[in-house]
Amino acid sequence: MKLGIWNTEPARHSLFEDAQGVFTGTVLASLGVMILAKAGLLTGGVAGMAFLLHYAFGWSFGLGFFLINLPFYWLAYRRLGLAFTVKTFSAIGLLAVLSEYHPKLLQIGGVNPIWAALLGGLLIGMGMLALFRHRASLGGIGILALFLQERFGWRAGLVQLAIDLVILALAFSVTSPFIVLCSVIGALALNFFIAVNHRTDRYIAM
């Protein structure tokens, strides 16, 4: 049996490995969301939609994030399987809860919007990468992006980037151009990180 770096055969993650991967990825992503929110920034995807509702109407980010994701579970189940759907539902629920309680557990003072965009985007990207590698996502656009990559070979990061830019364009209605620009920087950092690192030909665990 080949082990470690010499293993070239696909290996399935254990239940424990999946659980820690989903937990760790979601915690990293929620920390990135908290940093973006602290600077008044947005991001793309369903999180971006939840941010828009939060800034425009005062909705709870966590509640909006959870509710907007509901229609995407059917696509996840039909196209990517029950296990993917259950792990994704768990990650979404955990992020919704953490987004409400993280600021109470970790206090952050003033943060430069540009640095917040880069750091927040990279943290969310790292979290999403961990989830992708354990056959999960943060729902919504992530599910669609993963489906399109598996079906047509389109890079998940690039698909998500295109949709993110549309969402960020709507941000001009709720915030200043500078904040939108910083948010675009964060979205670019997030999606470039995923496009470079999420390669099924490099990571063979299942």
Q: Going from the first residue of the chain to its last (206 residues), give the mean pLDDT of each consecutive group of 10, the final group possibly shorter.
A: 47 82 94 93 88 90 91 80 90 92 83 95 94 86 75 79 80 91 90 81 58
Return the structure tokens found at 131: 């989830």
Question: Structure pTM?
Answer: 0.83
- For 131, other C-beta atoms within 10 Å of its C-beta total 26
pLDDT of residue 73: 82
pLDDT of residue 206: 53
Q: DSSP for 81-108?
A: -HHHHHHHHHHHHHHHHHHHHHHHHS--
pLDDT of residue 6: 45
In the three-class reduction of DSSP (H, G, I as helix; E, B as strand; rest coil), residue 137 is classed as: coil
| Domain residue ranges in the chain | 24-197
- For 198, other C-beta atoms within 10 Å of its C-beta total 20
pLDDT of residue 159: 81
pLDDT of residue 3: 44
Report the candidate in 101, 77, 83, 100 with the shortest Cα–Cα distance to residue 22: 83
Contact 117, 182 (CB under 8 A): yes
Cα–Cα distance measured from residue 15 to residue 26, given in angstroms and rounded to the nearest whole number: 16
